[in-house]
Amino acid sequence: MMRVFTVIYLLVFANVLVAQTIAGKPCSISKEIIPTTIFHTMESVNSEDEIAANESQASGHSEKIMKYGKELKVDFDLLNSFEKVSLANGDVVYQLGIYCPNAVSINVVFDRFNLKMGSRLYLVGVKSNEYVGAYTSLNNSNANVLGTELVNDSKVIIELFEPKENIGTSILHLSSVIHGFRSLETLVKRSLNSSGICNIDVNCPQGKGFEKQRNAVAIMINSAGGFCTGTLMNTTAGPFKPYLLSAYHCGTNPASWIFRFRWESPEANADCGTSKPSVDGPKDMSINGATLVASYKTTDFILCELNSAPNPQWNVFYAGWDKSGTIPQKGIGIHHPIADIKKVSLDYKPLIAEAFNKGEPRNHWRTNWDQGITESGSSGSPLFDQNHRVVGQLHGGDSDCISKFLTDYYAKLSESWNGGGTSSTRLSDWLDPVDAQVDFIDGSSLSIYDPFIAFNATNLKNHLCTDSLVPYVLISNGGSDTLKTVKVKYSYDMDSLKQVSWNGKLALYEFDTLFLPAKKFSKGAHTFTVTILKDTNFLDAEETNNSISSSFHVLSYPRKYSLELQLDTEGDETVWYLTDSTNKTWYSGGPYVQTASKPTLIKEEFCLEANCYTFSIYDFAGDGMFVSDSVIGSYTLYDDSKKVVAELLPQNAKFGSTSSKNFCYTNGIENKGVENEFNVFPNPSNLDLLNVSSDNSEIKTLELYSIAGQLIASYVVNAKSYKMSITTLNAGIYYVKIFGSSSDVIMPFVRY
């Protein structure tokens, strides 16, 4: 069994394997803005002519790509073409209307796509009120391309939301609009209404024994308005790269394509070549975009790497293959005909080596189906042999339910193995990356041994109030295999490595705590590194992600502070920051969850060192923390003696966009000597002069030090008072060492 090691920092339980759209409504749907009434009208498309042309192309001895729409080229730099609306809080929303007369659906392709953090992109149907998105920075890829899902409407609005801190920084260039001329209600939602009645659902008895191979097959929506089928492929290094095999004639620019897995009727409701309609299957297992790694027109193959690996919870399979060229004793095809729910076709006889359309001799496998057929949309689908291994992908053929022709042609994987003789035109470099030089491998489920390690939020924080503690990490299992043992090594400040082991039993997403030996830290900055040790019993597919490191600071003379933040019911509008005199952020929080009735009380604890601080609270909507006379927000920030240092009273909740309070902490630094003999004022100070005085004894000399102990200046005084120039000092903490006639003392002050 092959397993993958992964280390993730900070309890991030979001699925990092899949880059999908996120929840949230467009502003035009939620009525935050008025939808645009300005639309760019695209060229007209004759749907009947397009359908007839596609069906003519797909009939007979031909390629089997299924066209659902026509690609219309455009050239829009959207940030310059959009209609721009500014929201009250400073955020902006852009809209661009697209109208395709008589279209049944619209989807679009961006050939330059890069969204900044916080930005959200939607495609919204004007009449249907349906939308796809939000697409966010999670959808950014190395190709900088994105193709959207389809919206069933002839008028759509492309809507971009940008937060005020990132206005105008996203990149969006629209290159194509796909005018849908076939109803996706028919193509995608109902099986029997699209493909021929002799097709057999993959979960019928005819598909028994190929349940794993079934899970490797995906329907593909390409940027030129076509449907095809593809297959996840295993490699000699293990199923750790999401390589997908399909047909060259389906296209060679998969950056904007959509790949949907596991779309199939359940076994209990499958249509096995009868007149019974198939029951719809799940449609939420999709990947956006891929990168082409190899292609070869002669054997009609493309191999691309998906932008993200399918979620292990989808239970996908990485198909095995046979490149020997040995004649398969039978053939099994799994595919999506007419963009339909997944089907199976069977040829129980030995396959025949033959040319396709007068091409190179004998570089295809010819089938003569005993059950089922293929149709437009099946192009690129896999042909499995009796050993459940892929031996080719569908190029084209004659088969259909009406004419009773049963012949199809699959380009041989054995011929594509060496392809055109280069890395970009053959399969060998990608499916055999370790140069095992084997003729075949079996498929594999993505069994994942996936421990991830996170520092607990109450342990190694950025700022520590104590110098002695018991560090611990959380061991969690993000993989489908039960986790039983983990060996880790750790170190502080790059000192000698220490090793510990965890043993137990964790199922998917369960976790346990691994306590490390107690440790006493010196004041100042430290680093902590923990690494999963390589286990020779398992293959580690991604060794670069086995280590994490954290920096933390043991504070000098720390003091604890507590925050009680009473939200209103619109917590999603509220964020706060605690910054010091240099504008460094020490702590922050929000936005929080919107609640329908009872407002939430947030409690936080901080650890601070001597300095001046600003507590700032922001409201995105610009109406403060006031909803009604009975729903009002407030906060109180107090130190460990319960002294209030900053607060927002309910009567001040209507603060608009922001409210800030300042406070200083200077009493935590230990003084040497009799402090009451001397005075340093004003403290904290933003003036040019600092006063040092004594009521009783004479000041002999003064020395000014940085917080790090570096001598900055010294003065001979011989008087009871002195005005020290501090105009050149940056904001921060400093010390004045006072040498008196009877005692010496060190006193802190804060410059802000």
Provide the 10 A C-beta neighbour count for residue 2: 19
Give the residue numbers marked as catalytic.
249, 300, 379
Q: Which amino acid, one-letter code, is at 530?
A: V
CB 697 within 8 A of CB 742: yes
CB 560 within 8 A of CB 607: yes
Residue 214 belongs to what H/E stretch?
helix 211-214
Please state, in angstroms and rounded to a whole number, the distance separating the CA atoms of residues 38 and 127: 15
Tokens 């043991």 appear where? 554
- Phi and psi at residue 414, to the nearest 5°: -65, -30
Please state, in angstroms and rounded to a whole number, the distance separating the CA atoms of residues 19 and 11: 18
Please state, in angstroms and rounded to a whole number, the distance separating the CA atoms of residues 523 and 670: 14
Please state, in angstroms and rounded to a whole number, the distance separating the CA atoms of residues 431 and 244: 11
Please say whether the dihedral angle defined by the alpha carbons of residues 337, 343, 349 and 352, taken in this order, is positive or negative. Answer: positive
Q: Which amino acid, one-letter code, is at 334?
A: I
Please say whether the dihedral angle defined by the alpha carbons of residues 161, 167, 170 and 171, taken in this order, is positive or negative. Answer: positive
Tokens at 85, concatenated: 């609306």
- Residue 576: half-sphere exposure toward Cβ, Cα within 13 Å: 29
Query: Quick one: three-class SS letters along 273-294?
Result: CCCCCCCCCCCCCEEECEEEEE
Provide the 10 A C-beta neighbour count for residue 682: 12
Provide the 10 A C-beta neighbour count for residue 22: 13
Please state, in angstroms and rounded to a whole number, the distance separating the CA atoms of residues 123 and 125: 7
Provide the 10 A C-beta neighbour count for residue 96: 22
Please state, in angstroms and rounded to a whole number, the distance separating the CA atoms of residues 272 and 253: 35
Tokens 């609306």 appear where? 85
Taking the chain, what is the end-to-end CA distance rounded to the nearest angstrom?
Answer: 61
- Residue 394: half-sphere exposure toward Cβ, Cα within 13 Å: 39
Helix, strand, coil tally for the chain in percent (to 5): 10, 45, 45
- Report the SS3 class of residue 389: strand
Tokens at 410, concatenated: 């699959």
Helix ranges restricted to H, 171-260: 184-189, 211-214
Q: Which amino acid, one-letter code, is at 691?
A: N
Bond into 350 cis (ω within 30)? no
Please state, in angstroms and rounded to a whole number, the distance separating the CA atoms of residues 77 and 75: 7
Residue 55 belongs to what H/E stretch?
helix 47-58
Residue 48 belongs to what H/E stretch?
helix 47-58
Bond into 558 cis (ω within 30)? no
The residue length of the chain stands at 752
Please state, in angstroms and rounded to a whole number, the distance separating the CA atoms of residues 730 and 707: 12
Please say whether the dihedral angle defined by the alpha carbons of residues 380, 383, 389 and 390, taken in this order, is positive or negative. Answer: negative
Residue 212 belongs to what H/E stretch?
helix 211-214
Instruction: Lay out the sheet containing 711-719: strands in order across.
Output: 711-719, 699-706, 732-740, 744-751
